[in-house]
Amino acid sequence: MQEFMQLISLHDALDDTEELSWQERALCAQTDPEAFFPEKGGSTREAKRVCVGCEVRSECLEYALENDERFGIWGGLSERERRKLKKRAV
């Protein structure tokens, strides 16, 4: 039984790794992270410019929406823009 539980834990860990592998391909991983978490009232322009050309933009946005990320630019959207998107989806 213990071996079975260990296999389940390993499988879950692999699933988590596969789910987050998009982060390794994200353009933001190769740039200044501070651009994606600007101070209140700061510009989001630089971060959004990076997001436009990112191949995993949709995965990033989906992750942020599913995990209720409240700070930063995710999938090219600010927290306020993600809130509006969620309201429209309801």
Q: Which residues are annotated as a binding site?
A: 28, 51, 54, 60
Kindly report the backbone phi and psi dihedral angles of residue 50, in degrees, each rounded to the nearest multiple of 5, phi listed first. -65, -40
* Spatial distance between the Cα atoms of 68 and 56, rounded to a whole number of angstroms: 18
Cβ–Cβ < 8 Å for 74, 82:
yes
- The tokens describing 12, both together, are 């879950």
Residue stretches of the annotated binding site for [4Fe-4S] cluster: 28, 51, 54, 60
* Spatial distance between the Cα atoms of 3 and 18, rounded to a whole number of angstroms: 22
